Amino acid sequence: MRTLDTLFYALDGVRERKFRFALNIIGILIGGAAITSLLAITQGVNRDISEQMELLGPTTIAITPGGFGIGGKGLLTMRDLERVRRIPHVAVATPIIDRAATVTIGGRTGVVSIVGIIPEEYLRVIRNIEVAEGRFIRRSDMAAAVLGSNIAQPPGEEEPIAEVGSRIITMIKTEEGVKKATFRVAGILEETGGAFIVSPDDVIYISLRSAQQLFDMGNEINRIAVEADSMEKVEYVVDAIEEELGEGVLVISAGFVRETVGRITTSLQVLLGGVAAISLIVAGIGIVNTMTISVMERTREIGILKAVGAKNRDILLIFLSEALITGVLGGALGVLSGIFLGQAISAIAQFSFTIVLSPYITPSICLIVVLFSAVTGVLSGLYPAWRASNLNPVEALRYE
């Protein structure tokens, strides 16, 4: 029998059992949709983080005390900074103070990150900062501040709430009571879209000296940003810093973060994909069941086919084609539904939990899901098809 004729024959059989076929398709579709949406979401998370990573040079290294993130226990000191600066292949090592403060801007009050930096050093490390209006801060500024784009115009606001020259008031609780300070806006930054650990869009920059004074830091700092002189030396510098500063610090490079994120999203993908794959397996069992019934119902037809000269192989292929059609069609519909499902999940996540998920469908995801569904279909069809092909023709013809 020609392949095309086998396929047509299989399609014919499918048409005769539309309802059952539709149920099988739905089974595969649900599995395929679950896999597609989950893969797309984890892929999206991976892509978003990778994109943010790209804003940072591949030679950048961040040193934070203890735990990941902001304000971990224990602080670094200017002495630590000096030790880092002496490490070979360190091109730049710059101190960063990063503290939260209650800030009043244009009549609005909120808690904002205030970042104290040495501007000319900082800009060599964080390279995507551009001034939209006014100027960036200078090392010697004591009452000037530069606002990130989201600070000058919070998301959802139609008009900026601050402009160059506006006054901002910071309030910090200390043991003696609330300490107030006033800064003048020297510049407003372009939107950057994200960065390493803290986005410049969401902070207020002031000079290191004014931050030390504002937060009464003495010679303590929150972070050190380091630039190695070449990509090849990043690992060496990371190791050297860890050795120099000991256990208490976390030294992370862009490569390290990218790798970690990749590892996390990959395991997430495997985990979620695995859970979704179970639904495909369940659908497969459904196919085994309905096809076995279908083979029984069609015993006589199989006998007829054999009597007019069909080989076992022809019959095997007819039933496997039915299973393949189920798998491919279910998988393709599953991919389409999965795309919508991914969008729906991200909409719900954004609405209910304000988590931004941007599902990312790649052709390879679609291909994998369709392929996986097809394989599930064929594997499920294997046993019933084998049974059909091995029926004794005489007994099959007698079957009532």
Q: What is the DSSP string of 186-241?
A: EEEEPP----SSS-GGGEEEEEHHHHHHHTT-TTEESEEEEEESSGGGHHHHHHHH
Nearer to another protein, 9 or 122 (CB): 9
Figure out which of the listed residues 48, 50, 314, 358 binds another protein, where binding follows CB under 8 A. Answer: 314
Interface with another protein (CB under 8 A), residue from 20, 223, 306, 387? 306
Q: Are strands 220-221 and 76-77 parallel, antiparallel or unpaired?
A: antiparallel
Q: Which stretch binds another protein (CB under 8 A): 98-106, 150-158, 296-304, 322-330?
A: 296-304
Strands 108-117 and 144-147: unpaired
Angle at CA of residue 340, ends 338 and 368, nearest 5°: 25
CB atoms within 10 A of CB 340: 13
Name which of 1 and 123 has its Cβ closer to another protein. Answer: 1
Q: Which two tokens stand for residue 137?
A: 């801060």
In sequence order, the 6+-apart residues with CB closer than 8 A to the CB of 180 are 169, 170, 171
In whole angstroms, how close is the CB of 384 to another protein at the nearest point? 19
**Quick one: which segment of 1-9, 194-202, 262-270, 328-336 binds another protein (CB under 8 A)?**
1-9
Check if the beta carbon of residue 375 is closer than 8 Å to that of residue 327: yes
Strand partners, 207: 117
Q: Give whichever of 34 and 391 is closer to another protein, judged by the CB atom.
A: 391
- For another protein, which stretch binds (CB under 8 A), given 111-119, 274-282, 311-319, 366-374? 311-319
Position 311 contacts another protein (CB under 8 A): yes
Cβ atoms of 109 and 199 within 8 Å: the answer is no
47 in Cβ contact with 236 (< 8 Å): no
Subset of 85-104 contacting another protein (CB under 8 A): none
Which residues are CB-neighbours of 27 under 8 A, at least 6 positions away? 282, 283, 286, 287, 330
Q: Which is nearer to another protein, 20 or 223 (CB)?
A: 20
How many other CB atoms are there within 10 angstroms of residue 243's CB atom?
10
Q: Shortest Cβ distance from residue 319 to another protein (Å)?
A: 15
Q: Which of 40, 151, 186, 310 binds another protein (CB under 8 A)?
A: 310
Among residues 370, 359, 344, 264, which one has the least CA distance to residue 39? 359
Closer residue to another protein in complex, CB, 158/400: 400
State the minimum distance, in angstroms, from the CB of residue 3 to another protein.
10
String of DSSP letters for 304-321: HHHHTT--HHHHHHHHHH
Q: In terms of CB distance, is 263 or 311 closer to another protein?
A: 311
The reply on whether position 303 binds another protein by CB under 8 A is yes
Q: Candidates 77, 301, 343, 383: give the one binding another protein (CB under 8 A).
A: 301
Q: For residue 373, give the H/E element and its range.
A: helix 363-389
- Shortest gap between Cβ of 21 and another protein (angstroms)? 14
Footprint of another protein on 16-35 (CB under 8 A): 16
One of 78, 197, 261, 304 touching another protein (CB under 8 A): 304
Residue 297 binding another protein, by CB under 8 A: no
The CB-of-8 to another protein minimum distance in angstroms stands at: 9
Query: Residue for token digits 């710059």?
Result: 94
Interaction of residue 355 with another protein, rule CB under 8 A: no
Q: Tell me the closest approach of the beta carbon of residue 311 to another protein, in angstroms.
A: 4
Rounded to a whole number of angstroms, the minimum distance from the CB of residue 304 to another protein is 5
The residue (of 304 and 345) whose beta carbon lies closer to another protein is: 304
Number of residues in contact with another protein under rule CB under 8 A: 24
| Separation CA 367–CA 372 (nearest Å) | 8
Q: By the criterion CB under 8 A, which residues form the site for another protein?
A: 1-2, 5, 9, 12, 15-16, 300-301, 303-314, 393-394, 397
